[in-house]
Amino acid sequence: MIRLIWQSWWRRKERFLLLLFGALIISAGLSYLVGLSETSKGTIVDELQKRWSASYHIVVRPEGSRSITESDNLLDPNYLSGLDGGISLAQYEQIKAIDNIEVAAPIAMIGYGTYNLYLDNYELEDEGIYRLIEEEVINDGITEKRNETHSYFTYGNDAIVHQKFIENEGDYFLGPIFENIVVVRSILFAGIDPEQEAKLIGLDKAIIANDHNRYFAKGDIVEERPLTENQSGKDLSDVFSFPVIFSDTSYTDLQTNYTIEKLDLPFDKSEASITLERAEENGGRNYLDKQPGTVIRKYTYDDQEVLEELGNSMSGYDMVTGDPVYENRLKFDYITLDNHPSQFQYKQVDSPFKERWPYAYKIEVQENEGMQGAYEGFRKMNSFIEDGLAPLIAPYWIGFYDPTNLDISKDPLNELPMETYRPASAELVLDGDRNPVNPPETLKPEVSPDNFLANPPGMLTTIEAAEMIRGDQPISAIRVKVAGVSELTGESQEMLDLIAREIEEKTGLNTDITLGSSPQPALTNIPAINNQPEYGCNKCG
């Protein structure tokens, strides 16, 4: 075991930490350093304690949540965001009651919610047919991906277009009459125990200081209430309402450009019907695609601006300045809970350079279903929809928090990749021909939740809210900190072993000791999906 500690230290000394493989790699796993004796204390152990000290000593997870990487004693980075419940509040209370447990901080990954946000008004003045060009520019740190879509709508002579919708039962080449730019985004909700999270990482101290923001309080209301009624008085759907604080930071480098063009087609009252009939006879949308247009408006937003608009609309205050905001840009009063959290599925492959990178994996591609049909992703998107309905949530804002003010490591050379409040990190170190990339290129997260790197939970609520929404086993993991454990010693290891064993005997849950864990270089091949290029070695397994 001393050899393992020495190797871990030596890798850091040679600055081989966080070197990832040809694809973008997992930001590094966690290596469990166990069985340390008193005689092993010294320079190496002191260095480990100083550099790689987790905010918790034991992580408790449900049965069946282990990844294939754990056969190599490696934890997938930010694995917590992929765990879909499995621990009850009763089991949580059992753990809290165990002697010498100082902190038992549960986290429940509730799921991904989709919200619709109005942005700028088009401010159109002239009757006509308009083309909306939406261009997404995503910089993942390695490549700049562009995705462009066109849609068409009309302004003026609404009755004529409305009649066309009725005649075609909504299946018409012109979209609905737009007045605003609307952006659709997903955000991950998570439930915590506010008291325990404050003890563990100082979440209460990370609340942005002004007269409007606050932390969770015992009087916060968590309820399920009717949303609508039909003529018989029966509830059509219920909505879950609960308090939230959310992060003021987006980690994605996404810019969305909107261009509005007025087509050079007549559309006044006398000619609108004739123009539409001509378009129908010549292929509808295909006909419009060929028509020239004049640019009349351009808008650009990055993902941080979208997040701030969401925060401003939910809170009624400017996220940055704290000033009152009187315009609510949310399209609906509720958010649809769409997809469950899910883990990556890996398979082990041979490392192309075993001496430098002993661990190598390949992400298994998942088939998902979306509004526009089947598509590939790196996580399985398991839908909440049952009988055509998905849970509706109406979170109410109580505060913003700044994740940079949390009491967790922020040094990219020694941060542990198992925290909840930031995305995992990864680097491209080999190209498709297995040649080194020098210097390595850092990968950035993307906005889609099924991507390799995605944003961490954006909104936090309470465990009680998670139980209301997800049922009697809402907790994904419990992070345990043991009193009196602060050094890598044999006594510390013995104490953690005893408590971990007691947790398993009383609850039947899995435990892993994270004391002394350190980032490890691990290679991950990222296959090509959705017409995107493969990252990394093409013949690794």
Exposure of 509 in the CB half-sphere (CA atoms within 13 A): 29
Alpha helices in 174-323 (DSSP H): 194-201, 272-281, 285-289, 303-315
| DSSP string covering 273-286 | HHHHHHHHHTTTHH
Q: In this model, does residue 40 exceed pLDDT 50?
A: no
| Same-domain status, 173 and 223 | no
Alpha helices (H) in 97-252, listed in sequence order = 158-167, 194-201
pLDDT at 424 over 70: yes
Domain assignment present for residue 536? The answer is no
Q: Mean pLDDT across the stretch 356-370?
A: 85
Same domain for 305 and 343: no
Strand partners, 377: 366
pLDDT digits (tens, 9 = 90+) for 530-540: 666 555 433 33
Is the per-residue pLDDT at 87 higher than 90? yes
Nearest to residue 368, comparing CAs of 378, 360, 358, 359? 378
The closest alpha carbon to 31, from 93, 94, 65, 73, belongs to 73
Residue 261 lies in a domain: yes
Q: Is 60 in the same domain as 143?
A: no
- Report in angstroms the alpha-carbon separations of 492 from 95, 143, 306, 481, 497: 19, 46, 46, 12, 9
Type of residue numbered 374: A
By the 8 A CB rule, do 194 and 108 touch?
no
Are both 298 and 348 inside the same structural domain?
A: no
Six token digits for residue 328: 């609510």
Establish if 533 belongs to a structural domain.
Answer: no
Token couple for 399? 């505060």
Interatomic CA distance for residues 413 and 15, integer angstroms: 8
Percentage of the residues of the chain whose pLDDT score is greater than 90: 48
Please work out, in degrees rounded to the nearest 5, the angle formed at the alpha carbon of residue 345 by the alpha carbons of 463 and 364: 140
In a shared domain, residues 346 and 269: no
Query: Is 153 within the bounds of a domain?
Result: yes
Residues 174 and 309 both lie in one domain: yes
How many domains, in total, are found in the chain?
2
Instruction: Record the tokens describing residue 252, joined without a space.
Output: 């994605």
The contacts of residue 299 (CB under 8 Å, 6+ apart) are 119, 120, 181, 257, 258
Helical packing angle, 158-167 and 272-281, nearest 10°? 40
Host H or E run for residue 189:
strand 180-192
Q: By mean pLDDT, which of 333-342, 431-440, 457-466 is the weakest?
A: 431-440
Give the integer Cα–Cα distance in Å for 484 and 491: 10
Closest CA to 303 of 256, 248, 245: 256
Structure tokens given for 357: 């990178």
Query: Domain range holding 471?
Result: 2-114+187-248+336-525
Cα–Cα nearest to 506, from 93, 108, 64:
93
In a domain, 241, yes or no: yes
| 85 φψ region: left (φ > 0), alpha (ψ -120 to 50), beta (else) | left
The answer to whether residue 537 sits within a structural domain is: no
Domain annotation covers residue 381: yes
Q: Residue 177 corresponds to which tokens in the numbers above?
A: 């009459």
In whole numbers, what is the pLDDT of the chain averaged over residues?
82
C-alpha gyration radius of the chain: 26
Say yes or no: 243 and 256 in one domain: no
Shared domain check, 196 and 64: yes
Tens digits of residue pLDDT in 89-145: 999 999 999 999 999 999 999 999 999 999 988 888 899 999 999 999 999 888 888
* Number of separate helices (H) and strands (E) present in the chain: 10, 23
Model pLDDT for residues 426-461, shown as the tens digit of each residue = 888 877 677 788 888 888 888 888 888 878 899 999
Most confident of 215-229, 323-337, 371-385: 323-337
Which segment, 64-78, 153-167, 222-236, 497-511, is predicted with the most confidence on average? 497-511
Fill in the amino acid letter for 181: I
More confident residue, 424 or 500: 500
Give the per-residue pLDDT at 418: 56
61 domain residue, yes or no = yes
How far is residue 536's CA from residue 516's CA, in Å, rounded to a whole number? 31
Domain boundary among 287, 319, 351: 319
Specify the pLDDT at position 438.
Answer: 84
Looking at the fold, whether 160 and 195 belong to one and the same domain comes out as no
Answer yes or no: do 99 and 132 share one domain.
Answer: no
Per residue, what are the HEC states of 86-103? CECHHHHHHHHCCCCEEE
The answer to whether residues 463 and 89 touch, using CB atoms and an 8 Å cutoff, is yes
More confident residue, 418 or 448: 448
How confident is the model at residue 98, as a pLDDT?
Answer: 97
Can you give the pLDDT at residue 82? 87
Confidence at residue 26, expressed as pLDDT on a 0 to 100 scale: 37
- Last residue within a domain, chosen from 272, 290, 319: 319
Q: Are residues 238 and 341 in the same domain?
A: yes
One-letter amino acid at 319 equals M
Asked which of 47-61, 146-160, 473-487, 490-504 is least confident by mean pLDDT, the reply is 47-61
Judge residue 209's burial from the number of C-beta atoms within 10 Å of its C-beta, 0-12 exposed, 13-18 middle, 19 or more buried: exposed
What pLDDT, in 10s, does the model give residues 477-522? 999 999 988 777 888 889 999 999 999 999 999 998 887 776 777 8
At residue 55, the pLDDT reads 79
Is the CB of residue 306 less than 8 Å from the CB of residue 116? no
pLDDT score of 47 more than 60: no
* Residues 361 and 373 placed together within one structural domain of the fold: yes
The answer to whether 85 and 470 are in contact (CB under 8 A) is yes
